[in-house]
Amino acid sequence: MMQDFQAAINDYGQALALKPDGLVYVHRGNAYAALRNYQAAVDDYTQALSLNPADTLAYVNRGNAYAAMLDYQAAIDSYTQALALNPKDNLAYMHRGNTYVALRNYQAAIDDYTRALVVNPSDAWAYVNRGNAYAAAQDYRAALEDYTQALVHDPDNGLAFMHRGNTYSALQDYQAAIEDYTQALTFDPADPLALVSRGHTYAAALDYEAAINDYTQAIAVSPTDASVYVSRGNAYGALLDYESAINDYTRAIDINPEYALAYSNRGAAYKEQWYLGQPTREQAIADFERVLALISDPDWRQMVENDLQELNVTNRRFVGE
């Protein structure tokens, strides 16, 4: 595929050598963007605009390239120029809204998605994006309304189910969240994000067996995602199955030897085993000391230091060594 884009760039270059043409510059810019050479893409879109200053697509595409380079203000300027030429450019409103979200200017994003919906009231993705902006601003009720509207216009929008599930979960309506994640999984039964999200929600609802089942399915799809092992370990720990929890935390550490949370949780599991009379005090101490070498957060460090202090009390009633 990359070779195809490079071949296209070569062909466009030959055509431009014969005759400069704005549309050809746009097409070559698109090929550069596909290869993630965003600066070259910006240069070509700018050349296109020098030949055709009214080309709104060139402004939008240049905005996308700027956004990919994290130059958000330049992206917003390009989208705004497109909208000055065509105030009904739904795509420009959408992309500018996305850029405002990246800047955490959620109200400006909501305003742009609303303008996009004025242009096209049945645009399901505008509802989804506006819902995301509302959710990021913690206006969860407004977010729910938008995701529901998205599903009215596109009942097969699995992402709308996912985001609505996330919002129900934030509102602690766990059953509704589980139902939405389950709907999302009907479109892609092996979606690890949906499986993990449903697993988290089962865990929040204290249904740890169901959570473990979902995490296990997610691991089968993404066996190198250390965070899922930690989540499954947490669920095992909640069931007091510390050995299984430790095995999962160890797998997470094998994948990511710098994973402080995995060390912290494994240390806590070893500490619980020590309370139960098992000779795991030294393992717990080693894990907590490793955490302190990896983290800087003062609150977290204080909690770990408290754990170490408990472990270093020699007259602990439940010491098993």
Residue count (the chain): 321
Instruction: Return the higher-pLDDT residue of 159 and 316.
Output: 159
pTM of the shown model: 0.89
Mean pLDDT score, 294-315: 91
Rounded Cα gap, residues 280 and 269, in angstroms: 9
As a whole number of angstroms, the distance between CA 216 and CA 233 comes to 11
Query: Is residue 316 scored above 90 in pLDDT?
Result: no
Q: What fold is seen in the domain 87-155?
A: 1.25.40
CATH of domain 1-85: 1.25.40.10
How sure is the predictor about 2, in pLDDT bands with cuts at 50, 70 and 90? confident
Label residue 71 left, alpha or beta by phi (over 0 means left) and psi (-120 to 50 means alpha). beta
Confidence check: pLDDT of 259 > 60: yes
- Of 39, 105, 90, nearest to 60 by C-alpha is 90
pLDDT at 154: 98
pLDDT at 56 over 80: yes
Q: Are 175 and 164 in contact (CB under 8 A)?
A: no
Question: Which regions of the chain carry the CATH code 1.25.40.10?
Answer: 1-85, 87-155
Query: What's the distance, CA 224 to chain centroid?
Result: 17
Looking at residue 95, its amino acid is H
